Amino acid sequence: MTEPVVTRFAPSPTGFLHIGGGRTALFNWLYARRFGGKMLLRIEDTDRERSTEPAIAAIIDGLQWLGLDWEGEPIFQFARAARHAEVARQMLAEGKAYECFATAQELTDMRELARAEKRPPRYDGRWRDRPAADIEAAHAAGLKPVIRLKAPQDGETIVEDRVQGRVVFPNKDLDDTVLLRSDGTPTYMLAVVVDDHDMDVTHIVRGDDHLTNAARQTHIYQAMGWRVPVMAHIPLIHGSDGAKLSKRHGALGVDAYRALGYLPAALRNYLVRLGWSAGDKEIFTTQEMIDAFDLPQIGRSPARFDFAKLENINGLYMRAMPVDELLAALLDTLPHLEHGTALAAKLDDGLRAKLLAAMPGLKERAKTLVELLDGARYLYADRPLALEPKAKELLDGGGRAHLIALLPRLEALGDWNASGAESVVRAYSEEIGAKLGSVAQPLRAALTGRTTSPGVFDVLETLGREESLARLRDQTKD
RNA sequence: GCGACCUUCGUCUAUCGGUUAGGACGGCUGCCUUUCACGCAGCAAAGAGGGGUUCGACUCCCCUAGGUCGCACCA
């Protein structure tokens, strides 16, 4: 029996949950699910200057919207500062760490000198082996030291990464990491290691921007005699031009994807295939993802974010979704959609029924909820309808005559439904020897104000007799 | 500057020394059709460059180029 898998998602609340973070969370979540373990959420808020409450709320909201849950309450790293300091002091007592009184100015000079000599900027270890007397003197002078790790100076540190492979770092390239600042607060490097250890994290899955940190953190694990968790550093997501992901590329908060009308299940499906694959399979249910997910299938090269593909997958999900569920998803998302309030304000049982009736025709024509909402506008537009320019042209260019001719025939229609309306319109167009399109298009223009919509006969049916005829009369007047 | 990592169609990817290098998105044709979509059928499109190793390299090794990340008392 192996120990249970514990993964964690550990965002710093200095901004919103962006798309790369969302994917990292998804991978952690999937891995935990796959192996019957759990995912923890840790908010890395030790940077008091930049951490904000709204960011914390946005991250939690983003994860929930994406459908990714975590075990227990979120752990706030800052709240554990005393424990982190305790570990630093323990390392100091054990000689695994030392006090360093180098001033900010000294450190800056050190870096500039290194740069001038074309060496990598690195702390030179000037307090590493100072006699006790020097340290006492510095204390006596009222100086506040940082605690630095006494990292190995020779040999190499090996990170056995499950995605990147065996990565070797010469120890001479890694300097003595600061563990505790001079004000007594822990650094990220210390806090992460202590927390991952205390939380019994077995697998660390994070962006490969942390790969070199992994070597430094390995030193801390070794100094404490703790077992190093399995590491998996996944490549970052890039923008469509291969450069760093920017706003323009999709480096938006996940809440922005909700506002753009993407379904969480579709976004998950898109994200899981960015950097991970299982043969040629493209579409996965959540369960299929869980069953197929594992670390070896994660690629080592960065992927570019592609809105077109996301849109395609979202369209696939929308079309596959039962109409009542899709409608529910649309209505739930209304507060987040740009023109959502217009529909929300008019929503009643009648409109709800019309939306549901129109949904089969609507969902074939939309790739996002935004497009779905837009496509549904004719259902609740106020009379007389504002006509789009092309729709107006259609009526002015001879279409109105057809409406005038059709109006009495439609008024005479017994049962008001799509097939009945179709017979009437077809009979008329045959009578006058016109193509069906030449009659159907003006009809559509008058009924929806547009030149594209679901099938006109379906439009007539869902709109109902009164509304349909009224809209036609509106357009025959002038 | 130093270090690490990456490099298959425009994009996401399959391939785990032997394939006509496959799939998906996007693009283009066509079919369907009352519009727009959907759907269906088809077409074009790739191993960064150069050296090795091998009977045989997309696959292994080296170099070059390009890209990304990292090098804080930030996380």
- Give the burial string for A226-237 (b: 16+ CB within 10 Å, else e): eebbbbbbbbbb
Strand, helix or coil for residue A166? strand
Query: Residue A463: helix, strand or coil by DSSP?
Result: helix
Catalytic site includes residue A247: yes
Please name the nucleotide lying closest to A210, CA to C1': B70
What's the confidence (pLDDT) of residue A1? 46
pTM for this entry: 0.93
- How many Å from the CA of A156 to C1' of B25? 44
CA of A113 to C1' of B27 (A): 54
**Is nucleic acid strand B under 7 Å from A26's C-beta?**
no
What is the per-residue pLDDT for A194? 96
> What pLDDT score was predicted for residue A238?
87
Q: Write out the E strands in A252-366.
A: 303-304
Pairing state between β A203-207 and A165-170: unpaired
Amino acid at A70: W
Phi and psi dihedrals of A230, rounded to 5? -65, 135
The structure tokens listed for A2 are 């192996």
> In angstroms, rounded to a whole number, what is the distance separating the alpha carbons of residues A398 and A9?
63
CA end-to-end distance (rounded Å), chain A: 82
Closest nt to residue A298, judged CA to C1'? B13
A12 touches strand B (CB under 7 A): yes
Cα–Cα dist A422/A428, whole Å: 10
Residues whose CB is less than 8 angstroms from the CB of residue A218 and which lie 6 or more positions away in sequence, other chains included? A157, A159, A228
| ipTM above 0.85 for this complex | yes
| β-bridge mates for residue A304, sequence order | A238
Q: Is the CB of A73 under 7 A from strand B?
A: no
Distance A220 CA to B59 C1' (A): 38
> What does the pLDDT read at residue A293?
96
pLDDT of residue A251: 60
| Chain A residues 128-157 within 7 Å (CB) of strand B | 146
Strand B closer than 7 Å to the CB of A79?
no
Specify whether the CB–CB gap between A244 and A305 falls below 8 A.
no
- Other C-beta atoms within 10 Å of A3: how many? 8
Q: Which of residues 96-125 of A touch strand B (CB under 7 A)?
A: 102-104, 107, 111, 118-123
Residue A350 burial (C-beta neighbours within 10 Å; 0-12, 13-18, 19+): exposed
* Catalytic annotation, pick one of A247, A281, A309, A390: A247
The length of chain A, given as a count of residues: 478
Distance A167 CA to B49 C1' (A): 26
pLDDT value at position A132? Answer: 87
| Consecutive 10-residue averages of pLDDT for chain A (478 residues) | 86 88 96 96 90 92 96 95 95 93 84 77 84 88 92 89 90 90 93 96 94 93 94 89 61 87 97 94 96 94 93 97 97 95 94 96 97 96 92 90 94 92 94 92 96 96 96 88
* A316 strand-pairing partners: none
Give the separation between CA A473 and CA A478, rounded to whole angstroms.
10
Cβ within 7 Å of strand B: which of A 309-328?
A: 309, 311-312, 315-316, 319
Per-residue buried b or exposed e for A317-340, using 16+ beta carbons within 10 Å of the residue's own CB = bbeebebeebbebbbebbebbeeb
Furthest-apart CA pair in chain A: how many Å?
110
